[in-house]
Copies of this chain bind each other. A is one copy, B any other.
Amino acid sequence: MQHQKLATIEDVAAIAGVSIATVSRAINEPTKVADATRRRVTEAIARTGYTTNAMARSLRMRRSNMILILAPDVGDPNFSNILVGLETEASKRGYGVLIGNTQNDATRESDYLRFISSNQADGLILFTGHLPYGYSSGEMRLPPMVAVNEPVLGGDIPFVGVDNVEGARVATEHLISQGHRRIAFIGHSTAKAVNLLREQGYKAALSGHGIAIDPHLILAGDGTTESGRAATEHMFVRDVLPTAFFCVNDATALGVIISLNARRYDLPRQFSIMGFDDISFASFVTPSLTTMKQPRLKIGEEAMDLLLALLEGKPARRREVLLRPELIVRNSVARIGQD
């Protein structure tokens, strides 16, 4: 059994003693209807508990006022905080938010496109870093969309995220300001845009301070905790050691800390570690992690704002919105003695 039969615009019209056209106008263009009738309509609406049927409305208007959010892992803590911003802004502007968890699965990605192609969503927020499988073939027209967190390589999709180069530069300079000169970068990768950009900021900071870039101090990593651990172990099989580790993200930094702790080093006295992201556990590790905080709420709000502007036909003000991350000083970085 369904919940009770809902009142329609016709019920309201009957009670108010007007036509359905007038009711529709009273709702959507109140100025175009006489005060007296508008009041009658308003009262009739109240009496019936009428709500516009969104389906009929969407069918007629050819827009659903829904936004589809595609993310590889909805459970990722980095995602959920951005989601809050996305949802807040969307809700404020009268839009609803649909969630699609793709798990980086091509089938699932293309499956979610039905929401677009069937008019169930007007726009797309992409966390995946690439066009959904199915669009790449170019056989479908692209709906308005903006990439978040991970830029879409190659395309010219508007992007909202953190300024990775600048953030990495600030992070590295913080280490330098604490007297460090031999600073390792953990997380070299040519595959991920984020890694590329953060490495770039790291190098810029070094160069800016006249510190030579030592390839031996740059280790590969894909951003996982395991990669941080592996890189650290790798570092110790040689005898060229840094005094500080700048990690491409907090997850990697955690791996480094675990590895270093296991080797019984006294942190941060013997090694300093710097992360990037400020994910929730950063303040709970020992030593608590000094890192760059992503303004996640703001990222979500800006991204949704940009998408809705696109949707409303305004020219995209910018193809890229880069927010500055904030340096969060905790206990994993120590000043180094003179060397």
Give the distance to chain B from A144, nearest Cβ to Cβ, in Å: 8
Stretch in A26-34, A149-157, A181-189, A279-287 touching the partner: A279-287
Q: Which one of A55, A97, A143, A254 has the greatest number of beta carbons of chain B within 10 Å? A: A55
Is A6 within 8 A of B119, CB to CB?
A: yes
Identify the closest chain B residue to A85 (Cβ): B75
Binary interface profile of A, 58-86, with partner B (CB < 8 Å = 1, else 0)?
11001010100000011111011101100
Residues of B within 8 A of A81 (CB): 75
Residues of B within 8 A of A73 (CB): 84
Binary interface profile of A, 263-287, with partner B (CB < 8 Å = 1, else 0)?
0000000000000000011001110
Is A97 within 8 A of B99, CB to CB?
A: yes
Q: Which A residues contact B (CB, under 8 angstroms)?
A: 1-4, 6, 49, 51-56, 58-59, 62, 64, 66, 73-77, 79-81, 83-84, 87-88, 91, 96-101, 108, 111, 114-115, 117-120, 139-143, 254, 280-281, 284-286, 313
Identify the closest chain B residue to A54 (Cβ): B118
Complex CA distance for A313 and B64, rounded to whole angstroms? 27
Residues of B within 8 A of A281 (CB): 280-281, 284
Complex CA distance for A196 and B152, rounded to whole angstroms? 48
Is B62 within 8 A of A87, CB to CB?
A: no
Answer whether A98 and B97 are a contact pair too, CB < 8 Å, given A64-B55, A74-B84, A80-B77: yes
Is B64 within 8 A of A75, CB to CB?
A: no
A-B contact sample (11 more), CB < 8 A, given A6-B117, A280-B280: A3-B140, A53-B119, A54-B120, A55-B55, A55-B58, A75-B83, A77-B77, A87-B101, A96-B115, A96-B120, A97-B99
Q: Which one of A97, A117, A139 has the greatest number of beta carbons of chain B within 10 Å? A: A117
Answer whether A3 and B141 are a contact pair too, CB < 8 Å, given A75-B80, A97-B98: yes
Residues of B within 8 A of A280 (CB): 77, 280-281
Return the contact of A55 from the options B111, B120, B142 (Cβ within 8 A): B120
Is A51 within 8 A of B117, CB to CB?
A: yes
